[in-house]
Amino acid sequence: MNERRKNMKVRRKIGKYEMGRTIGEGTFAKVKFARNSETGESVAIKIMAKATILEHRMVEQIKREISIMKIVRHPNIVILHEVLASQTKIYIILEFVMGGELYDKIVQQGRLSENESRRYFQQLIDAVDHCHKKGVYHRDLKPENLLLDAFGNLKVSDFGLSALTKKGVGLLHTTCGTPNYVAPEVLGNRGYNGAAADVWSCGVILYVLMAGYLPFEEPDLPTLYRRINAAEYVCPFWFSAKAKSFIRKILDPNPETRVKIEEIRKDPWFQENYFPVKLGECEQVNLDDVRAVFDDIEDQYVAEQSEITEGGPLIMNAFEMISLSQGLNLSPLFDRHQDYVKRQTRFVSRKPAKVIISSVEAIAESMGLKVHSRNYKVRLEGVSANKVGQFAVVLEVFEVAPSLFMVDIRKAAGDTFDYHKVSFSIYTYPHFFISQMLSSYAMGITKMKYG
């Protein structure tokens, strides 16, 4: 009976949304690709268990994040469509942003041209300025939280650490954010101006776009904090004089003299090829669905349906395959080199799905990892290389054609280095090399490896 349940395919439907593959996974939430069955629109659904939210006392934080995303609707901010709830889970329905993280583009491509960097920076400033006018301060701006749509436009995401203030409220006091991008005054455990702190983070992002690396990076936090507090950084030789001058105004360690957003907009460097985004009429923000979800109103529950059939792994349809690609270019689905720099890797194999799973389990066992398998999905857990934390990698097998399977590997928790180590061990396993329908790049690697 247990073996029979293991081999069942399950495709769920939440209200009008048909659920697909998992596209992200963290400690408290899972993000799935989904399709609106009424309109055909692609969406991303962030799923959180109510029990987990209550256990970790996250109700107010999540309620604030959802409310903020409804308030700050803007072309350069990820759209929150609606919020739904079942008896056990909360579903946040978000715009599906096809192009992935700006971080991945930088890692894959290296530094961007000054003109391309300026375009992303202009869109970032438009979005951040809009947030500030609504009394919202992001407080965790970094390339990992900036997504790109199919047209290459920037979208700000992840408002989990944001602050929503009322008019007349003074300084913020919570120290939060990612150290390399955080303003000096935030690190000082004193009150700080949210707008000035966000501007500093935008300056670090601009530097990273143009340089391909961080302005402040040290192996230990005390040295890193000292450099940030002193604004101790060096611009590479390829930065233009105007760009250097502009960045210097932003990365000013004194928040009182640091350039303001209205001054950024007037700067000649920023103004070049700048086309301000046109906003529509201000919509009335309705937070009724947010209140309903968190006030546990029973008639707001959405129906959860599961379609169960006998067989192997989930079949991935053409629509889902296209959604995996960047800019509708399907080559990244099967070109392992393109995905190596990311936190997600895919390859295809003609070996049976059961054989793929058992091979992965054997690899994990040889690496001393804990293995949890269910429905052609495997979660691998271990201790990070620096021995100070845990990491997790999730692998899932999909059927893309008769006897052809796609293996999707992604980081679920921990350091990216640990993810790369595990994923590399899996997709260079000789067993898979024999059977993969490889790109020309991978075939070249195979030839070198096996003569």
Catalytic residue check, 129: no
Taking the C-alpha atoms of residue 60 and residue 309, their distance in angstroms, rounded to an integer, is 39
> Within 10 Å of residue 270's Cβ, how many Cβ atoms?
18
Give ∠ CA 380-403-32 in degrees, rounded to 5: 45
| Beta bridge partner(s), residue 92 | 46, 83
Taking the C-alpha atoms of residue 142 and residue 204, their distance in angstroms, rounded to an integer, is 8
| Beta bridge partner(s), residue 348 | 406
Output the six-digit token pair for 90: 């909360």
Reduced to 3 states (helix: H, G, I; strand: E, B; else coil), residue 74 is: coil
For residue 29, give every residue at least 6 positions away whose Cβ sits within 8 Å of its Cβ, in sequence order, or none. 46, 47, 48
- With contact defined as beta carbons under 8 Å apart, do 200 and 251 qualify? yes
Task: Name the active-site residue from 104, 126, 140, 252.
Answer: 140
Rounded CA Rg of the chain: 23
Reduced to 3 states (helix: H, G, I; strand: E, B; else coil), residue 385 is: coil
Binding positions for ATP:
46
Binding positions:
46
Main-chain phi, psi angles of 18, to 5 degrees: -90, 120
For residue 2, give the amino acid letter: N
Output the six-digit token pair for 202: 């935008």
Burial class from Cβ neighbours inside 10 Å (0-12, 13-18, 19+) for residue 304 reads middle
Output the six-digit token pair for 86: 């079942």
Backbone angle region of 448, left / alpha / beta, with phi > 0 → left and psi within -120 to 50 → alpha: alpha
For residue 16, give every residue at least 6 positions away whose Cβ sits within 8 Å of its Cβ, in sequence order, or none. 36, 37, 38
Taking the C-alpha atoms of residue 68 and residue 340, their distance in angstroms, rounded to an integer, is 34
Taking the C-alpha atoms of residue 406 and residue 308, their distance in angstroms, rounded to an integer, is 21
The secondary structure of 144-176 as a DSSP string is GGEEE-TTS-EEE---TT-EE--TT---B----
Catalytic residues: 140
